[in-house]
A and B are shown apart, each in its own frame.
Chain A
Amino acid sequence: MSHRDHHHDIAPIREEIRKGKGREFWRSLEELADTEKFREFLHREFPAVNPSEADPAWLDPVGRRNFLKLMSASLAFAGLTACTNQPKEYLVPYVKTPDGLIPGKAQFYATAMTMNGVASGLLVESHEGRPTKIEGNPDHPASRGGTTVYEQASVLNLYDPDRSQTALNLGDPRTWGEFLNELSRALDQQRQKQGAGLRILTETSTSPTFADQMNKLKAEFPQSKWHTYEPATRDGARVGSQTVFGQPVNTVYQFDKADVVLSLDADFLTNGPGSVRYARDFMGRRRLTDGASEMNRLYVAESTLTTTGAKADERLPIRASEVEAFARAVAAKVGVSGMSSALSGEAEKFAEAVAKDLKAHSGKSIVIAGEHQTAQVHALAHAINGALNNVGQTLYYTDPIEINPVDQIASISELVGELNAGKVELLVIVGANPVYNAPVFSGQTFLDAMKKAPMRVHLGMFNDETAVHCQWHIAESHYLESWSDARAFDGTVSIIQPLIQPLYNSKSPHELIAAMMNQGGKNSHDIVRDYWRTQPQFSGNFDQAWRQALHDGFIANTALPAKQVSPGLGGLSSLKSVTPGKYEIVFRLDPNVHDGRFANNSWLQETPKPINKITWDNFAIISSNTANALGLAPNEEPHRANAKMIRLVNEGRELEMPAWVQPGHPDNSITVYLGYGRERAGATGNGLGFNSYTIRTANTPFIATEKVELSAGEGKYQLAATQEHFSLDTSGIEVNAFITDDKDLTERHIVRTERFEQYKQELEEIKKDPRHSLNMHHGAHKPGKDLTIYPNWSYDKAKASDGREVDLHAWGMAIDMNACIGCNACVVACASENNIAMVGKEMVIRGRTMLWLRIDTYFRGGTANPQVYFQPMMCQHCEAAPCEVVCPVNATVHDAEGLNVQVYNRCVGTRYCSNNCPYKVRRFNYLLYGDWDTPSLKLGRNPDVTVRSRGVMEKCTFCVQRIMNAKIEAQKQDRKVLDGEVMTACQSACPTEAIIFGDTNDANSRVVKLKKEPRNYEVLADLNTRPRTSYLGVISNPNAELSGAHEGQKSGEKHG
Chain B
Amino acid sequence: MKFLDHLEEWLISFLMGAATLLIFVAVVHRYLAGFAIPGLQDALLKIDLTWSQELCIYLFVWMAKFGAAYGVRTGIHVGVDVMINRLPPDTRKLYVLFGLLAGATFTAIVGTLGATFVWDIAHTSSVSPDLELPKWIVYLCIPVGSYLMCFRFLQVAWSFAHTGELPKHDVAHVEGIEDVIPYDIVPDLHPAAVKGGKP
Indicate whether A and B interact.
Answer: no
